[in-house]
Structure 1
Amino acid sequence: MSAHLGRRLRKGATSGAVVAAAVAALAASQAPEMTPPPTDNAGGDRAIGAGDTASPSGDGSATGNSPYYTELPSLNTPNKPGVPPVQLPVITGPAQAGIPASVLAAYQRAEQSIRSTAPGCNLPWQLLAGIGKVESGQASGGRVDANGTTLKPIVGPALNGNGFAEITDTDDGVYDGDRTHDRAVGPMQFIPSTWATWGQDANSDGKKDPNNIYDAAQAAGLYLCANDRNLALKADLDRAILSYNRSTEYLNTVISWFEYYQRGTHQVPDGTGVLPVDRSDGRGQGNRPLPTSPLTPAPTTPGPKPSETGGPKPGPTKPGGPSEVTTPPTKPTPPVKPPVTPPTKPPVPPVVPPAVKVARLAVVSSGPLTATTESAFAKAPTVAALDAAGAPITGVSIRFEITGTTDTRFSGGATTATVTTGSAGIAAAPTLRAGEKTGSFTVKATVVGRGMDATVFNATVTERQADALARVGGDPLSATTGTTFGQSVQVKATDKGALAPGVLVTAVIADSTGTKESVDGPSFKDGVRTLVLKTDGNGLISLPAILAGDKAGEYVLRLTAPGGGVTEIKLTVDAPTATPSPTPEPTSSGTGSPEASPSPSA
């Protein structure tokens, strides 16, 4: 019974009744702990035995209910090579139990990653292996490169409603090369619309590739764990598998491989895995472009046996009887070799430039872009390149341009800069540095090679400020008319207690009230009475020499700064003191008596 059933299973029978019977027999003979699949439509599928004759809708299906491989595993428990069987005799199936090295590593890595983030899901890697076997024959027998990407894209048939779901194109043919209908893609057979939601970059190469086994296995694990499923529960396990392909036969096939791998498996070199043949749509291996090289054709029909062509029959003759007439053997007719049709190569998806995929530029940097004169902006204009589904796009060239009457520049003194988006689709402009001009300007971000509207950032440059000004030491300032004040004047600017370099301080020589510029009296060189000076790196300014002028009186040197800093210094101009004429002293004679004035005659 079991041998007969095994032959029927290996032939890939697709009838719901046969598969259900096979799984029931498997559960009874090899895995008594297994609970048979539901037969009352409780799993959300058609009743067992209904078959796959109806065209499914594809709603809620990772693969769009694409066809799958129906080959079932051997009913014998697999043993790892080199490990003696526990019970003898046991017929091992090493070829079926072997999983290509990179594919096995991807399944196990996905399990570890998801168990660390969603431990309640209890995802076993053997479930991913069962789905990978049914969907693609473990990535076409492990035909992947060193990064886990299939050597050729794995693309299913067009989902045009002819026996499958009807799903019109959602990715412009980017993944499946078909701009009319969607096709399932990659070793885990995601349709593009599902990949847009669940796609992962598990191997950290900067892209989410459904044809990469690491990316696809991680995405499949997350998809199966959706809706807070606990895959340790049979009901949740069935729902998860049915969400991948809504077919009872599909559920039974995946469960069979899942439990087969749980009983034992081993690693085989990439490219040496067993390729399945029979497919659920009955078209056979040739309609699903999984193998990357033609399979060996079936053996031809042997020629007729000599006994069937009138040749001599071996064996003794009866004693004394007539000898048997021997006729020369007829040369057998050469077998006719059936024509070998090479497998159809899947269409190569066109290379779409990253810029073409961009649907919009989203602003990433938040808050106003402001800076004071001659300083760097704390933030840079930053955007994210997104496709129509809101997914980031890598490798897009973004051009940033400064516009407006400003002397603000990017690092290096340029007014334009081109930046390429990274793995998160983000591009940040180089650092902006303000010049001496104050005011507003804009930075525009555009996609190079696309006629999209620019994303505009508004920026402002303000004056440097000081909220306090104070004279540094020195005596009162006084001078005489016509001279120069001999004391030097030095002022320190601070803002919130810190030194304020680069602040423009206005110095005005005003009248005694300090309210308006004086029209006479002290001045700077050339009669100038108002100067604008900039504080140095220590927040200090040193005023030039002050001339006293010709008019005595009291004046005020008033200094102000943006930010409210102000100080006033008194200037005193004195008139010169009058010098008295000297009184002549009388001369004395040699006798000590006053000498008489000479006579007029003398």
Structure 2
Amino acid sequence: MAAHFGRRLRKGAATTAVAAAAVAALSASQAPGVTGDDHGRQTAAGASAPVPDPAGSDATGNSPYYTDLPPLNSPKPSPSPTTGTPVVQGEAEAGIPATVLDAYKRAETELRSSKPGCNLPWQLLAAIGKVESGQARGGQVSADGTTLSPILGPVLDGNGFALIKDTDHGEYDGNSRYDQAVGPMQFIPSTWAWAGRDGNGDGRKDPNNIYDAALAAGHYLCRGDRDLSREADLHAAILGYNNSQDYLNTVLSWMEYYRKGTYPVPDGTGGLPSHRSDDGTPHGTTPKPSNPHTPGQQNPKGPTAPASPSPTPGDGQDGSPSPRPPATPTTPPATPPTATDTVDHLKDTGTTRLTAMAGHAFTGTIGARAETKAGAPVAKVRIRFTITGDTDTTFTGGENVATVATDAQGVAKAPALRAGEKTGDFKVTATVVGRSLGGVDYQATVTERAADTLTSTATGDTPPTCAPGGEFADRIQVKATYKGAVADQVAATATLVTSATDATENGKGPYFKDAAGKAVRTLTGLKTDAKGLLTLPQLYADDTTGTFLLRVTTPGGGTLTVQLKVAADGTATASPSPSPSASS
């Protein structure tokens, strides 16, 4: 069984040899699509070298992760740890703490509904949770899924790790100078700020809660219309989480292992992996302050007191040691400025006011340019685009925040916007990640769905005819288009008008019925279907004979006027005014 809490996170010679052998054997026998290279490392078949995440940042800030590989034994999904039956290693590694496992499966269910095209398997979340936090430290979570103590990654101060200056004022990681990855799925604060989700329905988005973190990870992996059943999209999603080829291979190995069978174990009884990607590096320790036996876990006994210095021989008359000279204070080397530090302001690249019809894509592109005080472009700076206002408009992929890195010209272009169904104004704001600089606002408007042309689907020139007191045999159907394309879900109004020049409601002649069966001659709230078709309700006639006009209108200028006849012998005896059968 994997090492439990209390085992020191370091590699010994024996475990290194075992791990090397496991890689070679595993690549040959267990993980489909995974092979071993000449050095005994795993390489995913078809996987390219790590590439930067297209969104311009990754979930974890490329923080360290657990490198332990699955055992060679295939898991058996049936044994219960409470029966006393001996459990072999393969079976033990297949056990996932019950609450943690439930969070992964619940996230998969939600994504199956909200983003069905993504095809997210819960085993992918379990694999990432394994390598990021050892399944929340073996399931050390409360009943609602919150970790019993914070799980923090190392300080991302550029010393052996990425340099990410504080973006959350210490709200999530308690560090107001630099960021640290937080929680069982190890989100850095700047990513959690937009990717965070409420997975357990308590009204909060907490990166330390496995339900929230698992759902956020699912949405993060599924962004950009990815289909994780495709190998290329799967690899891109994992590399976007942590941009490392070794990380990709390790996650794929655990995902395939979990697909062969898992079972729940009681919370707090899971094992913690023993090897990490930062072993042997200058920062190859657990985050500060933390228990060196458990990554990110606070030491319950408090900080360890430094050892007392041993006496040294002195030259005093009594033989006592002479005082040591005070150490010469050293000035820590200044941290060289990053590209982000050189940004003085953001500049709009010439974006025009953005307008789109509800449910349609915006045609304009939002662009921001990062510049120094002298106006020079700054490349490789993360720009965050945030949608604000009472709108359901999103970027492509369904998110309301997107982070994009500037190119060589200092320009970052936001993903395409897609309007929701809420009409009205909103704005998109561009800001520099990691800096408190003024942002650039872009105004946008969503207009209601519209149709500029309405046509009748009826064939022939004979107008619908009805006997007095009867009902019309055929229901009237209208087709709506906008600039020649189908106009779906467009609101429409149908009115029995007085004449071709008088659009007021006619008080006699044909009528519709409301829910209570009463005559009405104006209908609102009508809407075309997905094919742009609108079929009107049944029409009835009172005792008045003659020729009458039914007018259908839509936002965007679409208008259709249809003649209706009421006559006992099938001919009209009066007409409110001459009118063509249709106009637009």
Verify same fold: TM over 0.5. no
TM-score by length of 2: 0.43
Question: Which TM-score applies when normalising by structure 1?
Answer: 0.42
With CA pairs under 8 Å and 6+ residues apart, which has the higher RCO, 1 or 2?
2
Question: Which entry has the higher C-alpha Rg, 1 or 2?
Answer: 1
